[in-house]
Structure 1
Amino acid sequence: MTDQPLSFAELGLPDAIVKAVAKVGYEQASPIQAASIPPLLKGKDILGMAQTGTGKTAAFALPLLSKVDVKLKQPQILILAPTRELAIQVAEACSRYAANLKGFHVLPIYGGQDYGSQLRQLKRGAQVVVGTPGRVMDHMRRGTLKLDALKALVLDEADEMLRMGFIDDVNWILDNCPEDKQVALFSATMPKEIQRVTEQYLNDPVTVKIKAETATVERIEQSYMQVRGHEKLETLTRLLEVEPFTGVIIFVRTKNATAEVAEKLEARGYASAALNGDMSQQLRERAINRLKQQKLDIIVATDVAARGIDVATVSHVINYDIPYDSEAYVHRIGRTGRAGRSGKAVLFITAKETRMLRTIERAIGQKIDKHRLPSSAEISQQRTDQFKEQLQSVLENETLDFFQDLVSQCSDQFERSGSEIAAALAFMAQKDRPLQLPEEKPRREPREPREKKDKKKRQGSGEDTSNVTWINYRLDVGREHGVRPGDIVGAIANEAGIDSDYIGRINLHGDHSTVDLPEGMPKEIFQQLRKMRIRQQPSNFSRNDEAGESQHEKSGSKPERKNKGKKKPGKAANSDKRQGKPKRPKGDSPKGK
């Protein structure tokens, strides 16, 4: 491993990949990328021990994508991930890195997604498949995922797959793949089961160990705001209205977004400028100098363009788009809190980006608190206070004799009082920026990350959630099949997208098991779980009472709801707007939880 950071071109990657990486915003390889890319390019197996957030996705994706034959419409790389969220995230990353490979296709396959859609896309052809073990194994058994042309297989977050009970599925997949393939295994820890996989399936692997550095960012107050994608601009403008600032850097992912966001902020009255890699060095320096001189309020920048910015007056960094890894986050927020000053960093995340939030928290060694969206009343008060300050300044510093006479004339002509004329003038002055905002419509908050709900519950929300109705379900797998509670939790969570906190009591028997799930399960989730396999055995998931089972299977209706207003698992059940987590009934505890 080199002491000096290397560029991606120096690591031997082809130009098409290097250009795509530069467009994403990476300039230099992280330690795990520098250590992993050369041996993977040479065809060697890799055992990578690294935490999430160190840049490991690019570490395996960049060299393996370099070997893809885009003319061959068959899976050449298979990437196994423990969760649907990670599978989607890795697939999106592969798509970005292969942006210059004409004819390239990547397909994520995971439980809970319609089989028909996956079958159509598999038939159409994809060079890279990213999937969860259960669904990948299912397609392999059906013959709908053929791996005859497989060149490489990646196990991403292997220890997490073990924790979720997928290790037997992983072994089955490895046993049924072509022997002549390259294997890359990445894991934060190395339990004995993963060590056995390494010894059995990796051929003289190169071992790469990366210790994630804990980044401490003092003097910076960090928070996050969970927003829907289309609400980001509104949230940003509200935040800027109530936050006193001396300079702001807003980070976005693409050069197009820098111009777009900057233009929209200009239209809202903020002196803003874009900063991206396509701009000349002279234009970049001019924008930074204007920010230093406080002739600009805001710079909207990409990661590449913002490197090296050192402006002491920057009071806020806003991550409009979440960074691709924790190192980029630490670099971004380091643009504030400089020269001994304090600073604030706000991170916008969507519901599907909560995983990266957790990764960032682990990297910086602290929790990031939620930042509340300013209300209409707060913004109205802020605007009113600013209006009063401006009015007082005019009254103290300007000669107003002419305007007093004009107001008096208008009062006589319109037969209105002076206060009414003043009110009309205030309305005219603030017409484009009303002092009184309309009342907000009640809105459903985006789902909070589970850890935040845990914290809220521990602090005592006062909400009683023990009356959630649980329904008992049967699975035709038990101790004689080697099933553990963790296998059942992992399968249900992966196939149906049900949060593990909404998987209740699990009882293991010889030839079957039972599990409690919240009442009100939608038909589509029930049907998905019926197809679920655990430890390579069909589960034949069914409600553990004949009447309830017939309701689902024959009429297609939902089971009768004993308590009105309860949430459906996998959907609103995860929301903490009306209730916290249901209390898990006593029973066998899932291992690894």
Structure 2
Amino acid sequence: MEKRPFSELGLSPEILKAVDKMGFEEASPIQTAVIPFGMAGRDVVGQSATGSGKTAAFAIPAIEKVDVSLKKVQVLVLCPTRELAVQVAEEFGKLALFKKGLMEVPIYGGQSYDRQFRALAAGAQVVIGTPGRVMDHMERGTLRLDALKVIVLDEADRMLDMGFRDDIEHVLKSVPEQRQCLFFSATMPHAIQELIKRYTRDPEWIRIESLAQNAPQVEQIYFEVDRRSKIEVLTRLIDLHDFRFGIIFCSTKIMVDELDEHLHARGYSTDRLHGDITQAQRTRVMDKFRRRGFEFLVATDVAARGLDVDDLEVVFNFDLPNDAEDYTHRIGRTGRAGKKGMAFTFVSGREIYKLQGMINYARLKIRRERVPSLDEVEEAKGNVFYEKLRATLEEKKFKSHDQMVDRLLEQGHTSTDIASALIHLMQGDVEEPAKKTAKVRAEHIAANESPAPSAPAPRPAPVRRDPPPAATPAPVAAAPEGPASAAVRPVEAARPPSGDKFAAQKRTYERKPRTGREPGYSVVSFNIGRQHLVTPADLVGKIAGVTRLPANVVGAIDINEDHTLVDVVSEHAELVVTKLAGIRIKNQSLKLAVVPPPAG
């Protein structure tokens, strides 16, 4: 069954806006099939397992039918477990984000009755609960279903297996006769068919086959990682395996932009693709990627659809995909033509239940691993260098420097000291270009001299560099081995690494802020200031990362309490305003404007 864009399913602007914010760009097969019938008010029987994206399939039409002015329960979803009830409630909350006045509440055993009483009394229109607790509230009189419009049975076969049949029948007999009923079940045993026959009216049957897709040549691994730690874990894995060519998938366009900027600032060669990239830019980026003009492509699912790139070493699911089909589509980018590949997936919080559903639905062969420590990363990098050095010696692909070595030996240096010094120079030499650039820029600023305006040069391929220990972010706690281990703790906020290409600017700006309009520069106003804890490095990094302009297009920065004035080379000022509009810094959505020059 084919996918369709959500915009073609007759949804309200509020739902389309929420769907876009969640990163959904196309409806999954079950969503494409169910939503039109759900919107039309038809009863539906969907044979589909967890992992197929079915929650949005019934949640979207249900939300569309809710009258927010009526403070009564209008949608009831029955789930077999408290974990699934909470997950479904969260999905409803995200999809109803822009439908003001809609309130959803999960009710299940083990949670305080008082909290559930308050939510139901406040007029929740959507209730998601386990059958036992739902029936309990009905008997107490705290849950009334006289205004119910939609009832959903999610994972009906599991609820029957858990002994909830009597509770389910009690609930179904208590709801109004004129209501819409949606059944979802992975299997269709006789007991389920009896319920469907008794409580639905001419239902539309929709069957989505379980996926058996898998990539036998792809090694699949997942990590439980706190959201704030994902970038740190990502860079550790890249360094640990010495990856040089891969794709990193994110769920939203904003996340693609931010991750691309963060990785570039850390010294990785990246570019990006998402729905806002023009076809000309897309063609340029893909041509360059195929030529290995950069290391990692950061992309959304739709932007990467149809890519044909050979020899990918790795695929990262930085954000968990929406369904199992998207997952198999992503990881199928690597391990082609009989070659081996790797796929890493990051999950946080309750996403683990969603991933488990995908594993069962698509029969994925994916294993859990702990996050590598910093020591392991350093050891691996040393091993990579050792293998390269050993191969060079064995193949004798080097020029002889016997005369220089003899001179050093004559001066009393041992052969091991000479070799160690050479290795030290080789490993440290890659930092020199970055240090030199930062130093030149810092000297310009310290001397109150702005670099002359110039046309933007192509962004050079950054050199990967390792920050010294003093500037290394707090290590991510590695989860112990085993299935019951806890998720990774968040990385604490830390200063940018000293190797960061904007670090020198930040230190100099903080020592000596400058103000004033300079020749060849325009002043751009930002709606953030000291009260938002913004720093010059935040602004320089965001401008350079988002616009792809060199850092020297930025001149003076004047940070005020609630706004900031930034000098930008005049020919690039409008581009900066356009590109950064809506981008977030310090959790603030940017609003920018070019400040008109003073009269006269």
Identify whether the pair has TM-score above 0.5, normalized to the shorter chain: yes
Measured in 1, the distance between the counterparts of 2:337 and 2:135 equals 55
Match of 2:120 in 1: 122
2:467 aligned residue (413, 426, 433): 433
Match of 2:358 in 1: 360
Match of 2:68 in 1: 70
Q: 1:438 to 1:79 in 2, by over 3 A?
A: closer
2:159 aligned residue (147, 161, 183): 161
Match of 1:93 in 2: 91
Superposition map of 1:23-42 within 5 A:
23-42=21-40
Measured in 2, the distance between the counterparts of 1:118 and 1:177 equals 20
Q: 1:449 to 1:202 in 2, by over 3 A?
A: farther
- SS at the partner of 2:6? coil
Q: 1:259 to 1:9 in 2, by over 3 A?
A: closer
Match of 1:370 in 2: 368
Measured in 2, the distance between the counterparts of 1:354 and 1:122 equals 29
Letter in 2 for 1:445: P
- SS at the partner of 2:248? strand
Match of 1:307 in 2: 305
Match of 2:588 in 1: none
1:13 aligns with 2:18: no
Measured in 2, the distance between the counterparts of 1:228 and 1:114 equals 27
Measured in 2, the distance between the counterparts of 1:318 and 1:244 equals 14
The TM-score normalised by the length of structure 1 is: 0.65
Superposition map of 1:131-280 within 5 A:
131-280=129-278
Measured in 2, the distance between the counterparts of 1:44 and 1:185 equals 12
Match of 1:113 in 2: 111
Superposition map of 1:272-421 within 5 A:
272-350=270-348, 352-385=350-383
- SS at the partner of 1:135? helix
- Using the TM superposition, give the Cα deviation of residue 377 of structure 1 relative to its aligned residue in structure 2, in angstroms: 3.2
Q: Deviations over 1:497-554 (max 9, x none)?
A: xxxxxxxxxxxxxxxxxxxxxxxxxxxxxxxxxxxxxxxxxxxxxxxxxxxxxxxxxx
Q: Given that residues 215 and 330 in structure 1 are in contact (C-alpha distance below 8 angstroms), is that contact kept between their aligned partners in structure 2? A: yes
Q: Deviations over 1:452-495 (max 9, x none)?
A: xxxxxxxxxxxxxxxxxxxxxxxxxxxxxxxxxxxxxxxxxxxx
Measured in 1, the distance between the counterparts of 2:242 and 2:117 equals 53
Structure 1 unaligned segments of length 5 or more: list them: 412-416, 451-593
- SS at the partner of 2:350? helix
Cα RMSD for the two superposed structures: 3.9
Letter in 1 for 2:162: M
Q: 1:375 to 1:178 in 2, by over 3 A?
A: same
Give the % identical residues: 44
Match of 1:50 in 2: 48
Q: 1:110 to 1:439 in 2, by over 3 A?
A: closer
Match of 2:483 in 1: 448
Q: 1:388 to 1:426 in 2, by over 3 A?
A: same
Q: 1:372 to 1:294 in 2, by over 3 A?
A: same
Match of 2:528 in 1: none
Measured in 1, the distance between the counterparts of 2:265 and 2:407 equals 35
Q: Given that residues 371 and 479 in structure 2 are in contact (C-alpha distance below 8 angstroms), is that contact kept between their aligned partners in structure 1? A: no
Letter in 1 for 2:483: E
Measured in 2, the distance between the counterparts of 1:88 and 1:235 equals 27
Q: 1:449 to 1:385 in 2, by over 3 A?
A: closer
Q: Given that residues 24 and 322 in structure 2 are in contact (C-alpha distance below 8 angstroms), is that contact kept between their aligned partners in structure 1? A: no
Letter in 2 for 1:270: Y
Measured in 2, the distance between the counterparts of 1:215 and 1:278 equals 30
- Using the TM superposition, give the Cα deviation of residue 403 of structure 1 relative to its aligned residue in structure 2, in angstroms: 14
Q: Given that residues 232 and 476 in structure 2 are in contact (C-alpha distance below 8 angstroms), is that contact kept between their aligned partners in structure 1? A: no
Measured in 2, the distance between the counterparts of 1:90 and 1:317 equals 28
Letter in 2 for 1:261: L
- Using the TM superposition, give the Cα deviation of residue 183 of structure 1 relative to its aligned residue in structure 2, in angstroms: 0.9
Q: 1:192 to 1:387 in 2, by over 3 A?
A: closer
- Using the TM superposition, give the Cα deviation of residue 252 of structure 1 relative to its aligned residue in structure 2, in angstroms: 1.8
Q: 1:163 to 1:182 in 2, by over 3 A?
A: same
Q: Deviations over 1:268-295 (max 9, x none)?
A: 2211223222332333333322322212
Measured in 1, the distance between the counterparts of 2:71 and 2:9 equals 28
Q: Given that residues 241 and 380 in structure 2 are in contact (C-alpha distance below 8 angstroms), is that contact kept between their aligned partners in structure 1? A: no
- SS at the partner of 2:334? coil
Q: Deviations over 1:423-448 (max 9, x none)?
A: 99789767953599999898653872
Q: Given that residues 322 and 348 in structure 1 are in contact (C-alpha distance below 8 angstroms), is that contact kept between their aligned partners in structure 2? A: yes
1:59 aligns with 2:93: no
Q: 1:123 to 1:446 in 2, by over 3 A?
A: farther
Q: Deviations over 1:229-259 (max 9, x none)?
A: 3332222111111113341211122222212
Q: Given that residues 105 and 128 in structure 2 are in contact (C-alpha distance below 8 angstroms), is that contact kept between their aligned partners in structure 1? A: yes
- SS at the partner of 2:345? strand
Letter in 2 for 1:205: P
Q: Given that residues 351 and 447 in structure 1 are in contact (C-alpha distance below 8 angstroms), is that contact kept between their aligned partners in structure 2? A: no
Superposition map of 1:468-507 within 5 A:
none
Q: 1:154 to 1:422 in 2, by over 3 A?
A: same
Structure 2 unaligned segments of length 5 or more: list them: 432-464, 486-600
Measured in 2, the distance between the counterparts of 1:17 and 1:441 equals 37
- Using the TM superposition, give the Cα deviation of residue 133 of structure 1 relative to its aligned residue in structure 2, in angstroms: 1.6
Measured in 1, the distance between the counterparts of 2:469 and 2:405 equals 23
Letter in 2 for 1:295: G
Measured in 2, the distance between the counterparts of 1:119 and 1:398 equals 83
Match of 1:79 in 2: 77
Superposition map of 1:483-562 within 5 A:
none
Q: Given that residues 50 and 187 in structure 1 are in contact (C-alpha distance below 8 angstroms), is that contact kept between their aligned partners in structure 2? A: yes
Letter in 1 for 2:176: P
- Using the TM superposition, give the Cα deviation of residue 296 of structure 1 relative to its aligned residue in structure 2, in angstroms: 1.6
